Amino acid sequence: MSELVLINVSGRDKPGLTSEITGIMGRYDVRILDIGQAVIHDHLTWGILIEIPDESKASPVIRDLLFRFHALDLQVRFAPITIEEYHSWAEGRNRACYIVTLLSRDIKAEQIAKVSAITARHGLNIDNISRLSARPSLNATSDGIACVEFSVRGTPQDLELLRADFLHIAGEMNVDIAFQEDSIFRRNRRLVVFDMDSTLIEAEVIDELAQEAGVGAQVAEITERAMQGELDFSQSFAERLSLLKGLDEAVLERVASRLKMTEGAERLIRSLKALGYRTAILSGGFTYFAQHLQNKLGIDYVYANELEILDGKVTGEVSGQIVDGKRKAELLLEIAEKEHISREQVIAVGDGANDLPMLSQAGLGVAFRAKPLVKESARHAISTLGLDAILYLIGFRESETNQGLKNAQLSPKS
């Protein structure tokens, strides 16, 4: 009868170790049932579960391995595994798998302690922990980017309560925590659609135009109530727009030139393009400013409101259908169909109540620095980092995106 043995190895990493050890096993026709390795600061932790055929006997294999590990100055532990233990473990691997992503300016032990406590309380076991962001400098500043990803397995009884627990401690510790199923679509998204105002750019353009028109306070108050979901978007949009009547057309260029992109926006778009993603702006703002960003970043699709101008003056009206929340959701589906992809492969990003319909349609909907109502209603939220943190939600390591950017050698209009 064959024997099952779990081997755990630790010590300083060195090239050729795996080849050398499995070469010894190969002489005895050993079967590999599971294998895993992690290296932290040049220190190796290596685990392998093997099946030794009856004719080989365990003792000679273990003896040869033990001698070699000793010669390599590696610590090793051998543990026999019963058939029953193996089958119980293997069956457990069929349970649902989820990804928990911890995003912070700097990863602290308390954050990991609280995240792991919640997963344990909800019956989830951590299979793997990986750092996706670059290793920090010892002189790191408060504007750093840090991400740790947990692969967990199990069947939580109440997913909504689990998400609520994560949301609570995220607010308590000023971090972001995303919880998503580890499905085939996670690293196979193909389209990312963005709101523009307060998402890709830090400002609300209509408020900027209102400042130029001398009605800033009136418009800003209406904008805030609309963003909070207190007012119907189309009605509030028409009311704000009417206050801009008579504004000189030359103001648009002046406002566009001073718009500041959100932290991480440029890096995110460049990375997405390097990785082959399609991108779109679906905005309740104005086409003039969306196209300004399109030219700067190389966005593929732009849908926004066409500001009507007559004799060099803003009329206080828009041409065509207003791009409100319902229209954004429709456009998301239309672009996905045109690109021949499923909506599960779409990421949507926005901050206001009128973005919730498109966030709910996307496979990954992200409320970015959103109002409380939006943050609580969306399945995922980023509040502490920049837009490029989205790359971590889809599982990319910083080294992968940096290499993609280097290989693509992208220019703003590529």
Cα angle 31, 34, 38 (rounded to 5 degrees) comes to 130
Q: Please report, as a single letter, which amino acid is at residue 274.
A: A
Distance CA 74, CA 232 (A): 66
Which one-letter DSSP state was computed for residue 371? -
String of DSSP letters for 188-216: ---EEEE-TBTTTBSS-HHHHHHHHHT-H
Q: How far apart are CA 318 and CA 98, in angstroms?
A: 45
| CA–CA separation, 55 and 2 (whole Å) | 8
Count of Cβ atoms closer than 10 Å to residue 220 Cβ: 16
Average of per-residue pLDDT across 341-361 = 95
Q: What is the DSSP letter of 384?
A: S
Give 103's pLDDT tier (boundaries 50, 70, 90). Answer: very high
Specify whether the CB–CB gap between 179 and 97 falls below 8 A: no
Per-residue model confidence as pLDDT tens digits over 37-85: 999 989 999 999 999 998 767 789 999 999 999 999 999 999 999 999 9
Residue 21: pLDDT over 60: yes
Single-letter residue type at 380: H
Q: In angstroms, how far is the first alpha carbon of the chain from the final one?
A: 62
What band does 409 get if pLDDT is binned at 50, 70 and 90? Answer: low
Beta-sheet pairing, 43-52 with 31-40: antiparallel
- What stretches of 141-207 adopt beta strand conformation (E)? 146-154, 176-181, 191-194
Reported as a pLDDT band with limits 50, 70 and 90, residue 233 is confident
How would you classify the pairing of strands 3-12 and 75-81?
A: antiparallel
- What pLDDT does 77 receive? 96
* Residue 225 φ/ψ region, left for φ over 0, alpha for ψ in the -120 to 50 degree band, beta for the rest: alpha
pLDDT (average), residues 240-250: 93
What sign does the CA torsion over 178, 377, 234, 207 have? negative
**The predicted structure's pLDDT at residue 362:** 96
Name the least confident of 58-67, 192-201, 333-342: 58-67
Cα distance between residue 101 and residue 148, in whole Å: 6
pLDDT at 277 over 80: yes
Kindly state the percentage of the chain with pLDDT values over 90. 75
User: What six digits make up the tokens of 274?
Assistant: 């390097």
Q: How confident is the model at residue 411 (pLDDT cuts 50, 70, 90)?
A: very low
**Where does residue 8 rank: exposed (0-12), middle (13-18), buried (19+ CB within 10 A)?**
middle
State the pTM of this model. 0.85
Instruction: Give the model confidence (pLDDT) of 284-335 as tens digits.
Output: 999 999 999 999 999 999 999 999 999 999 999 999 899 999 999 999 999 9
Edge-to-edge strand order for the sheet containing 3-12? 31-40, 43-52, 3-12, 75-81
pLDDT digits (tens, 9 = 90+) for 117-175: 999 999 999 999 999 998 888 875 667 899 999 999 999 989 999 999 999 999 999 99
Helices (H), 280-383: 287-297, 325-338, 356-361, 372-377
* Residues labelled catalytic: 195, 197
Q: Identify the top-confidence range among 86-100, 193-207, 368-382.
A: 193-207
Give the tokens for residue 375.
């943050």
Are 41 and 11 a contacting pair, CB within 8 Å?
no
Tally DSSP H helices, then E strands, for the chain: 16, 15
Q: Where are the alpha helices (DSSP H) in 49-131?
A: 58-71, 83-92, 109-121
**313: phi then psi, degrees, rounded to nearest 5:** -125, 145
Structure tokens at 65: 């391995």
Is the pLDDT confidence value at 410 over 50? no
The helix (run of H) or strand (run of E) holding residue 273 is helix 265-274
Mean pLDDT over the full length of the chain: 91
Q: What percent of the chain has pLDDT over 70?
A: 96
**pLDDT for the residue numbered 163:** 93
Which whole-number Å values give the CA distances from 267 to 273, 400, 403, in the listed order?
Answer: 10, 13, 13
